[in-house]
Chain A
């Protein structure tokens, strides 16, 4: 049962990673437009080179 001393921290850590990732997606507003984002990956607009980064604004 010594394996538990490794497995439990590992599982808690992985759960924590998932939670942090979820919080990050929330903060970066990835749930604001699910329908639009689903369609957006289908456009060929930025296939050749990535979209130039916009200057993020806090007021937006």
Chain B
């Protein structure tokens, strides 16, 4: 299930080609709007009140409810309210919000599955408690008619419970039997069915032993493990859905000079599309009108915005920074470069699912063994008792129940849940069930630069070299632009009195200072000589030019993370799409010896694949779309929360906070967690070593089965909690 979720458009074959966009378009004429926004920053009670208050103040909004567990808010509103109206409202109260497609099939599907499992778990739990009460009476010596009555009452509770609660096991056992495989669920189903029917038979014949309590307890403990497992996967799924949010389901199309907002699926090659400053390109296209700069950092890793004028080709996912652009569409929807990248991820992703988890390896030798033991016990006692079928079946049912993998089914989910919870508090979200195991095996770490080790936000480096007056003019000019370099300059000094400020999209800002023209922007436009590093240039009325240089801000905790990982003996590489200068400087600053600059997305993926082929277990840390293929191809991958959704979807672990400090701890905890899993397997094996001979010899009573089962389950759960 979880394997498919990372690529939602492939996960649901029944969906139409572009389900989200089409459904949104279809929903538009309905009377009520139901909007779902993702709120990655919501984390506390005050957040909920602020968000709900702010949304309810918007005219047309009927109700808003925050779901803190999923970090979402769902809004019921009149038809004229759109997500585009609400996102700025939330931004004003300080919350980043993204539109989500409320109609996504998988969301409701996951929800339904989770509730179904919880219901079965609850029913099994209540039935178990009641049957236990009755069983205590039988164990403490109830006889004859009393015992029979208690057995009958137990049967009345247990049989419907087993039929209802055991369905997930029966279904998956049947599925694996049909392809001639013995999964973990085959012995479980066999034990449930055999134990229930033999107990019913014994009860009918006023026998001594009934295993109703064991059968129900078995389904309860195993369902608990299933539910924990499902929760881990549900989190992964909700993260995967955010890919849909990125895809900007609508575009502003110019049809006969009139702006029309259309779903992406209706945009055709050759249409004209308008993109406002601050917006993401919805399609691949060529600029036909306007000039601006585009931020490609998430796609290529370039830290500096690129000029875009008439004739420049732009790709879906790039951010338009300074001026409005009109594009002629060259590829839309499924043909756009964003989609091709997502497909690339899908291919790499399918390779990852080939990883065999510890639990699967354990199950592969465990289930044949269980069957073998049970059938040989049956055969032996048939022979030893001279054909006493009832006795032999009793023994083999007891063997099946005692060996049944209660502890085994809990051993992994309990550890994964405990470790994920621990890491979540440290700011790491584990998305993939086997990510912890894979993280524990890592020996090489590959970092991306822009947006990963650095924040992708420049900070000025040579402010002190400029006279105060020059700085003041620059700050005054910078105030008029939202360009990243200009934003970085703001607040560096008290702005001088510059009037008539005007932004020339794609070039810079100009204005009048003491009645004379001053300019801040690109070197060519300002008539300055380029300095070779990231910089913006200022021209003063006297013709003198000044260069303001910038360096990327280091992500907090990046130094500590690199040092910590090196201390654990891991090899570290830096592979960036950025120019040589900034990469070399950063590598020197962090003490990374092995670095590569100017790497294309395919080269990154190839480098990671090369390391993997050489037998290394690679941890890839990256954030951009150019990293996605490498992230998906690595043994395990981590991306920061600021990463593009596609990159987050491709990675196994997401860093929620800004700091990267937790990385070495994550590796340490994952190793510890894997050790606990192995210990848990050992513990359940030890219980079996003691209990199975007893069962084989025919000494196992229902009491012994109940004790062995609950003791081993409780021991593994407690051991799992020692992860922290």
Contact = CB atoms under 8 A, between A and B. Distances in A.
Contact of B48 (A1, A26, A40): A40
8 contacts: A1-B146, A12-B153, A22-B122, A31-B115, A39-B45, A40-B48, A57-B76, A59-B34
Interface stretch (B11-19, B61-69, B181-189): B61-69
B68 A39 contact: yes
Chain B interface residue number, banded: 20 to 34
Given A19-B126, A59-B34, A32 B76 contact: no
A26 B49 contact: no
A23 B122 CA distance: 8
A33 interface: yes
Given A22-B126, A36-B48, 13 more contacts: A1-B146, A4-B146, A12-B130, A22-B122, A22-B123, A23-B119, A26-B115, A35-B68, A40-B48, A43-B45, A43-B46, A60-B74, A60-B76
B45 A35 contact: no
Given A19-B123, A60-B76, A31 B66 contact: no
Interface of B: 34, 44-46, 48-49, 62-63, 66-70, 74, 76, 111, 115, 118-119, 122-123, 126, 129-130, 133-134, 146, 153
Contacts of A54: 62-63
Contact of A11 (B45, B62, B133): B133
A35 B66 CA distance: 11
A49 to B, nearest CB: 16
A26 B130 contact: no
Given A19-B123, A33-B69, A11 B49 contact: no
Contacts of B70: 33
B260 to A, nearest CB: 29
B492 to A, nearest CB: 40
Contacts of A33: 67-70
Chain B interface secondary structure, helix, strand, loop or mixed? helix
Nearest to A25: B122
Nearest to B126: A19
Contacts of B76: 57, 60
A19 B165 CA distance: 14
Given A12-B130, A54-B63, A26 B68 contact: no
A51 B163 CA distance: 42
A3 to B, nearest CB: 12
A35 B129 CA distance: 27
A33 B65 CA distance: 11
B45 A31 contact: no
Contact of A35 (B69, B111, B122, B130): B69
Contacts of B153: 8, 12
A34 B146 CA distance: 43
A27 to B, nearest CB: 9
Given A33-B69, A34-B69, A60-B34, A39 B48 contact: yes
Contacts of B111: 32
A12 B157 CA distance: 10
A4 B46 CA distance: 53
A28 to B, nearest CB: 11
A19 B122 contact: yes
B239 to A, nearest CB: 16
A40 B130 contact: no
A11 B111 CA distance: 33
Nearest to B53: A45
A11 B68 CA distance: 38
B115 A36 contact: no
A36 B153 CA distance: 40
Q: Which of B66, B118, B130 has the most CB of A within 10 A?
A: B130
A60 B76 CA distance: 9
A43 B123 contact: no
B274 to A, nearest CB: 34
A12 B130 CA distance: 7
Contacts of B46: 43
A42 to B, nearest CB: 5
A12 B76 CA distance: 43
Given A33-B68, A60-B34, A43 B122 contact: no
